[in-house]
Structure 1
Amino acid sequence: MSPFPPADPRALAASGLDAASVHVWRLPHHRGAGRSALAALLAAYLGVPAAALAFVSGPHGKPALAPPHDALAFSWSHSGDYALAALARGVAPGVDLERVQPRPRALELAERYFAAEEAAALRGLSGEARTRAFFALWTAKEAVLKALGRGLAYGPARVAFALQRGRAAPRAFAGEAAPASAWQLHALAPAPGYVGAVAWRGEPRRLLAFAADAPVS
């Protein structure tokens, strides 16, 4: 998925985030800004001041909104100059964003932390093709594990993907993430030089992507 057209979160909030969709936002991010941009975006959707929001952490550290706003689920990731936020109702989304840059140790990392079939697929590539495939797999794993609420401590090899034309597709998930067929995964191209992925467990939904190139107020 590529286009991230500029939009006003307040206008979209007025039309509602329905149970058949997932919204993904590209936001500007600056070192030291913390979650202020995320809080402003969530507040715009909820129609409340950002100061009215409180965050809680799940058993494995996954952030969520505290009641009475907890019906709005979100996931958050930042890299470089941007952040991505995924919002949904009725499912827990997971999103990951990475700035694409050379990874000389990509194959070494894959052989250590990825499933054997994934490492083999990367071994058959070289140069930029290997770098992009590595990031496709990495963002897919992060997105699923964030949606699961477990993070990388769950074990990246336990959520295995097949590379199909440079994109990751769920192949075999172990433990509480299983089965892989229960998951929806979408690759994201939020800006030149960046890749991302969004995932959720459940039925397919309409995925809508937007950009807020100025801080949400």
Structure 2
Amino acid sequence: MQAFDGFLPTKVAEPLRADEIHVWRLHRAKGAGRKPLLALLATYLDVEPAAVRLVAGEHGRPALDPAHGGTLDFNWSHSGEQALVAVARGLVPGIDLELRRTRASALEIAQRFFTADEAAWLATLDEDARHAAFLELWTGREAVLKALGRGLAFGLDRLAIRSDAAGLSLQRLDGEDPGAWQLHRLGVGADAFAALAWRGTPRHIRGFALADAS
């Protein structure tokens, strides 16, 4: 599978192949709500943004209304004025984005909600490395849970993630075979962390950024 190699600036969505996942980096101004998301999805559906209909799953995850054909799925995440959108056919993607920020309680949160091994590993790191590693584990969890169709209430300690120089990997997920999952670190610059997950076979990840994205 092709490794994620960044975001290609473009103004037009390319055709989405069955063996691909498209990841878009968008600028989301304060107060914009879902407008950037709907505008992007409209290009894949070949409709006007006002015609895009979304529904909420059992646990609140947004998805396209089945009236759009049921073959296209997406997930999105936003932090500050940045947003990431994953678009795919035939699978449910999960994506998460977090801007870099210092969390005084990062280790305390990990000790309460992560696995004991993860918390112990974080405790061995210096402060800067700990905050970065915490956000990597957090975005990885969020991405998996969103692909699973569940929220944080599922239980953050019911999955285990490994973060190292090779990337992210899912070590355990209650009720699931972690080997059936894909989990990837997305390079979004020094000021943010992001992860993409899905249940299924490997796919090519293609990154795009709208011309006016930050």
Given the two structures, how large is their TM-score scaled by the length of structure 2?
A: 0.93
2:75 alignment partner in structure 1: 75
Unaligned segments of structure 2, at least 5 residues:
none
1:44 alignment partner in structure 2: 43
Do 2:91 and 2:200's aligned partners in 1 also have CA atoms closer than 8 Å?
A: yes
Q: Identity, % of aligned pairs?
A: 48
Alpha-carbon distance in 2 for matches of 1:94, 1:170: 13
Offset of residue 213 of structure 1: 3.8
Q: Report how many residues are paired.
A: 209
Do 1:136 and 1:167's aligned partners in 2 also have CA atoms closer than 8 Å?
A: no
2:6 alignment partner in structure 1: 3
Residue type of the alignment partner of 2:140: A
Residue type of the alignment partner of 1:31: K
Offset of residue 117 of structure 1: 1.0
Residue type of the alignment partner of 1:9: V
Do 1:9 and 1:41's aligned partners in 2 also have CA atoms closer than 8 Å?
A: no
Unaligned segments of structure 1, at least 5 residues:
none
Residue type of the alignment partner of 2:58: P
Instruction: Assess, with a 3 A threshold, how the Cα gap between structure 1 residues 166 and 104 changes in structure 2: closer, same or farther.
Output: farther
Instruction: Assess, with a 3 A threshold, how the Cα gap between structure 1 residues 112 and 213 changes in structure 2: closer, same or farther.
Output: farther
2:89 alignment partner in structure 1: 89
Instruction: Assess, with a 3 A threshold, how the Cα gap between structure 1 residues 208 and 116 changes in structure 2: closer, same or farther.
Output: same
- Match of 1:146, SS? helix
2:198 alignment partner in structure 1: 200
- Match of 2:66, SS? coil
Offset of residue 128 of structure 1: 1.2
Greater CA deviation, 162-171 or 90-99? 162-171
Correspondence list, 1:53-64, <5 A: 53-64=52-63
Correspondence list, 1:1-217, <5 A: 1=4, 3-10=6-13, 12=14, 16-69=15-68, 70-165=70-165, 167-175=167-175, 178-214=176-212
Alpha-carbon distance in 1 for matches of 2:210, 2:26: 5
Alpha-carbon distance in 2 for matches of 1:169, 1:138: 13
Alpha-carbon distance in 2 for matches of 1:194, 1:64: 25
The ranges of structure 1 where at least 4 consecutive aligned residues each deviate by more than 4 angstroms after the TM superposition are none
Alpha-carbon distance in 1 for matches of 2:191, 2:166: 16
Alpha-carbon distance in 2 for matches of 1:126, 1:2: 29
The alignment's C-alpha RMSD in Å is: 1.4
